[in-house]
A and B are shown apart, each in its own frame.
Chain A
Amino acid sequence: MTYSIIARCQRTGRFGVGSTTFSMACGRRHESVRPNVGISKSQAFYLRYVDPLALNLLAQGYTPQHIMRTLAADDPDFDYRQFGIIDRENNVVAHTGPGCGQWAGHTTGPHYAAYGNGLAGPQTVAGIISGFLKQPDAPLEERLMMALEGGRDAGGQVSKGVKRPERSAWIRVVSQLDFPEIDIRVDLHDKTVAELRRIFEEFKRYRDYYGARCDHPRNAVPEEDFVAGLDARAA
């Protein structure tokens, strides 16, 4: 049980993934996003080597559509896999095998895919998308956060008629550099999407400071002084 969104920002070309699940530490899977190449994010009964393979194929020039056929041909258990792939030309595919359980499904848009398994129903995927589309001019990371909240508020995950908590969550956005622009995680928490929002809001307060500390270390003020200034302004 997991629900995710993968997307390419139409203004900046940045790639981003937002994901939340009952399993722990879903954000460990950063091999699923590659700058200037695309995203391949598999879930349900996922094999970890598939996303790096799909991204290598994308980098070689194959289309997501062809890669999906390649993966299907090489996998006797393809019916149990769920994944989405997006490339830098906005080609999007998604696959939900019939073995992924109830309810499982996906919706692809012109530059995004939302998908999940072990969900309350199609309303969870619809909630992800309406969250993502709510503020089309917002930065991609904001839209991914709203997508996860939209999925949660639409019912999130249900298994055997019982609501299942999201326990881990993750947002990652990459631009042209190797290093991500944002990568924040909650690995184990009983209200993980709300906790991710809390960390996201904190991270935004630090973001420029951390960037400047890397780029212009000569001018950096000690972080505890920066934090004291933040707290003073908030008070």
Chain B
Amino acid sequence: MTYSIIARCPRTGQLGIGIASYSIAIGMYCDGAVRANTGVTLTQGHPNPRNNYLAINLLAQGRTAGQALAELIGNDADSEYRQIAIVDRENNAVAHTGASLRKWAGHRIGKGFVTFGDVLAGQQVVDALAAGFEAAPEAGLDERLLAALEAGRNAGGMAGGKGRLPERSAAMIVWGNRTYNEVDLRVDLHERAVDELRRIYIDYKPSIAYYEERARSPRNAVPAMEFADMLKNQQQQKTT
């Protein structure tokens, strides 16, 4: 009851995750899943919280995504209940969908990305995630991840025995080459988590450069409240 995309931007080398789930606070399960200049991974379905760390440590040792995936499967007596994807910095993308996951479960491997999920409406959801991601290849990785999630949702998202399951939480994460993330946004509990993620992203995006600049030049910084008011005025001008 989760669908995701993990991806490497071929232009910038940025690594990222887009994820939406019926489970709450799904962003918590992305912990440790990305490391700059190393790779991106995610274990879902029945998550194994140690997997993200192990996979990234293996990639950091120089293992390929394929080798790391084999190690994760070998290390886990319940691997048939896990869904695992890994993309390394060489653009190798691999995935494993355990045979015991709830249907429909599966993955689709693209160039430098994987789309995958369980308890989905069907194959069309992972296909739509991929199509959403590839629709605007020149866009920023954050935009592409969000577009993928929206496409997955529009293609039917998750479906249990009694029909459609709402997206109750979502997250979008992008790392560049630093020791911390560039974008890390979450919705932990909401009736329309993917819409809410989009709303937060629209408000958040223009402030990224502001907060970086204000830390570098605090003496000249525009106060946060004034900046927020400025943004609000700009948005109002756009809509009128």
Contacts and interface: CB of A to CB of B under 8 A. Distances in A.
Interface of A: 1, 22-25, 27-31, 45-49, 51-53, 77, 80, 99, 118, 159-160, 164, 177-180, 182-188, 198-199, 202-203, 206, 210, 213-214, 216-218, 220, 222-224
B74 interface: no
A217 B49 CA distance: 13
Interface string B180-208: 11011111110000000001100110010
A180 B49 CA distance: 9
B152 to A, nearest CB: 18
A45 B100 contact: no
B32 A178 contact: yes
Interface string B200-219: 10011001000100111011
Given A180-B31, A202-B24, A217-B46, A46 B188 contact: no
Contacts of B162: 224
Contact of A28 (B28, B165, B181): B181
Contacts of A218: 78, 81, 100
B203 A188 contact: yes
Interface stretch (B107-115, B123-131, B140-148, B220-228): B220-228
Contact of B214 (A45, A118, A159, A182): A45
Interface string B93-109: 00000001010000000
Contact of A184 (B181, B188, B221): B188
B37 interface: no
A interface SS class:
mixed
Contacts of A184: 25, 28, 188
A22 B47 CA distance: 33
Contacts of A224: 1, 22, 160-162, 165
A48 B78 contact: no
B92 interface: no
Contact of A202 (B78, B81, B161, B189): B189
A28 B102 contact: no
B30 to A, nearest CB: 10
Given A25-B185, A29-B180, A199-B24, A183 B31 contact: yes
B200 A188 contact: yes
Given A23-B211, A25-B204, A203-B24, A77 B188 contact: no
Given A179-B32, A180-B31, A185-B27, A25 B189 contact: no
B184 A28 contact: yes
Contacts of A31: 179-181
B204 A214 contact: no
Contacts of A53: 179
Contacts of B23: 206, 210, 223
Contact of A99 (B24, B25, B218, B224): B218
B50 A22 contact: no
Given A25-B200, A177-B50, 5 more contacts: A1-B225, A22-B224, A187-B200, A198-B189, A224-B165
A180 B32 CA distance: 10
Interface string B14-35: 0000000011110110011000
A31 B182 CA distance: 12
Nearest to A99: B218
A183 B22 contact: no
Contacts of A177: 49-50
A217 B200 contact: no
A188 B81 CA distance: 34
B167 to A, nearest CB: 13
B189 A179 contact: no
